[in-house]
Amino acid sequence: MPNSRIKVPESAKRGAVVEIRAMIMHPMENGFNTDTQGTTIPVHIITDFVCRFLGEEIVRVKLEPGLAANPYFAFYLKPKRGGEVEFEWTDQDGSVTRASAMLNVT
Protein backbone atom coordinates (compact mmCIF):
# COMPACT_ATOMS: atom_id res chain seq x y z
CA MET A 1 0.00 0.00 0.00
CA PRO A 2 1.51 3.34 -0.99
CA ASN A 3 2.10 6.04 1.59
CA SER A 4 -0.31 8.91 1.50
CA ARG A 5 -0.38 12.21 3.30
CA ILE A 6 -3.39 14.42 3.97
CA LYS A 7 -3.86 17.76 5.66
CA VAL A 8 -7.24 18.84 6.96
CA PRO A 9 -7.47 21.58 9.58
CA GLU A 10 -8.73 20.26 12.92
CA SER A 11 -11.37 22.91 13.20
CA ALA A 12 -12.82 25.67 11.09
CA LYS A 13 -15.32 28.49 11.47
CA ARG A 14 -18.69 27.91 9.84
CA GLY A 15 -18.62 29.22 6.31
CA ALA A 16 -14.89 29.95 6.35
CA VAL A 17 -12.74 28.70 3.50
CA VAL A 18 -10.27 25.96 4.51
CA GLU A 19 -7.48 24.41 2.49
CA ILE A 20 -7.40 20.65 2.04
CA ARG A 21 -4.23 18.95 0.85
CA ALA A 22 -3.58 15.41 -0.27
CA MET A 23 -0.53 13.66 -1.67
CA ILE A 24 0.37 10.07 -2.46
CA MET A 25 3.72 8.38 -2.99
CA HIS A 26 3.57 6.90 -6.45
CA PRO A 27 6.06 6.63 -9.33
CA MET A 28 3.45 7.61 -11.99
CA GLU A 29 5.42 5.75 -14.68
CA ASN A 30 4.51 7.32 -18.02
CA GLY A 31 5.56 4.40 -20.22
CA PHE A 32 8.43 6.27 -21.88
CA ASN A 33 11.15 5.37 -19.40
CA THR A 34 13.56 2.49 -19.77
CA ASP A 35 15.43 0.53 -17.12
CA THR A 36 19.21 0.01 -17.10
CA GLN A 37 18.81 -2.88 -19.57
CA GLY A 38 16.95 -0.70 -22.06
CA THR A 39 13.59 -2.41 -21.47
CA THR A 40 10.60 -0.09 -21.48
CA ILE A 41 8.96 0.35 -18.07
CA PRO A 42 5.21 -0.07 -18.59
CA VAL A 43 2.72 2.63 -17.64
CA HIS A 44 1.92 2.53 -13.93
CA ILE A 45 -0.26 5.32 -12.65
CA ILE A 46 -2.95 6.32 -10.22
CA THR A 47 -6.05 6.68 -12.36
CA ASP A 48 -8.54 8.36 -10.02
CA PHE A 49 -8.53 10.62 -7.00
CA VAL A 50 -11.72 11.35 -5.12
CA CYS A 51 -12.39 13.47 -2.05
CA ARG A 52 -15.70 13.25 -0.19
CA PHE A 53 -17.05 15.42 2.59
CA LEU A 54 -20.04 14.21 4.60
CA GLY A 55 -20.38 11.41 2.08
CA GLU A 56 -20.71 13.86 -0.79
CA GLU A 57 -18.16 14.00 -3.58
CA ILE A 58 -16.40 17.37 -3.59
CA VAL A 59 -13.42 16.68 -5.86
CA ARG A 60 -12.84 14.05 -8.52
CA VAL A 61 -9.71 13.96 -10.64
CA LYS A 62 -8.92 11.63 -13.50
CA LEU A 63 -5.14 11.28 -13.68
CA GLU A 64 -3.17 10.67 -16.88
CA PRO A 65 0.39 9.37 -17.49
CA GLY A 66 1.68 12.89 -18.13
CA LEU A 67 1.53 13.80 -14.45
CA ALA A 68 4.65 13.92 -12.31
CA ALA A 69 5.42 11.36 -9.60
CA ASN A 70 3.81 11.70 -6.17
CA PRO A 71 0.70 13.64 -7.31
CA TYR A 72 -0.25 16.44 -4.95
CA PHE A 73 -3.63 18.15 -4.79
CA ALA A 74 -4.68 21.20 -2.82
CA PHE A 75 -8.18 22.58 -2.93
CA TYR A 76 -10.61 24.63 -0.85
CA LEU A 77 -13.72 23.75 1.07
CA LYS A 78 -16.35 25.94 2.69
CA PRO A 79 -17.97 23.74 5.36
CA LYS A 80 -21.44 24.47 6.73
CA ARG A 81 -21.16 21.75 9.36
CA GLY A 82 -18.46 19.38 10.64
CA GLY A 83 -17.83 15.89 9.41
CA GLU A 84 -15.42 13.41 7.93
CA VAL A 85 -13.27 14.24 4.92
CA GLU A 86 -12.45 11.06 3.01
CA PHE A 87 -9.76 10.59 0.39
CA GLU A 88 -9.48 7.78 -2.11
CA TRP A 89 -6.80 7.02 -4.67
CA THR A 90 -7.34 4.25 -7.22
CA ASP A 91 -4.35 2.59 -8.85
CA GLN A 92 -4.62 1.23 -12.39
CA ASP A 93 -4.24 -2.27 -10.94
CA GLY A 94 -7.45 -1.68 -8.99
CA SER A 95 -5.93 -1.25 -5.54
CA VAL A 96 -7.38 1.59 -3.52
CA THR A 97 -5.61 3.72 -0.92
CA ARG A 98 -7.84 5.47 1.59
CA ALA A 99 -7.33 8.14 4.20
CA SER A 100 -9.70 10.27 6.21
CA ALA A 101 -9.76 13.05 8.80
CA MET A 102 -12.37 14.81 10.91
CA LEU A 103 -13.13 18.46 10.31
CA ASN A 104 -14.86 20.14 13.23
CA VAL A 105 -16.88 23.22 12.44
CA THR A 106 -17.61 25.72 15.18
Partner 1 sequence: MNRKGVAISVVTQLLVAAQTCCAASPAAGAERSGYEFLSPETRRLQDDDFANPGMFWVDQGRTLWARAEPASGKSCESCHQQSRMAASAIGFPKYSAAVGHLINLEQQINRCRSEHLKASPWAYESQELLAMTSFLSHLAKGRAIEVAIDGEAAESFKRGRQFFYQRRGQLNLSCANCHEQHAGDRLHGETISQGQTNGFPVYRQLWQTLGSTHRMFAWCNEAVRAEPYAAGSREYVDLELYERWRGRGLKVESPAVRR
Minimum distance from residue 3 beta carbon to partner 1 (Å): 5
Contact 28, 45 (CB under 8 A): yes
Q: Does 76 bind partner 1 (CB under 8 A)?
A: no
Minimum distance from residue 7 beta carbon to partner 1 (Å): 6
Q: Which stretch binds partner 1 (CB under 8 A): 3-11, 37-45, 48-56, 98-106?
A: 3-11
**Residues 16, 92: Cα–Cα separation, whole Å:** 36
- Return the residue of 23, 54, 58, 59 that touches partner 1, per CB under 8 A: 23
Q: Does 28 bind partner 1 (CB under 8 A)?
A: yes
- Return the residue of 16, 17, 25, 102 that touches partner 1, per CB under 8 A: 25
**DSSP per position, 64-88:** -TTSPSS-EEEEEE--SS-EEEEEE
Minimum distance from residue 99 beta carbon to partner 1 (Å): 13
Phi, psi of 92 (to 5 degrees): -65, -25
**Residues 98, 82: Cα–Cα separation, whole Å:** 20
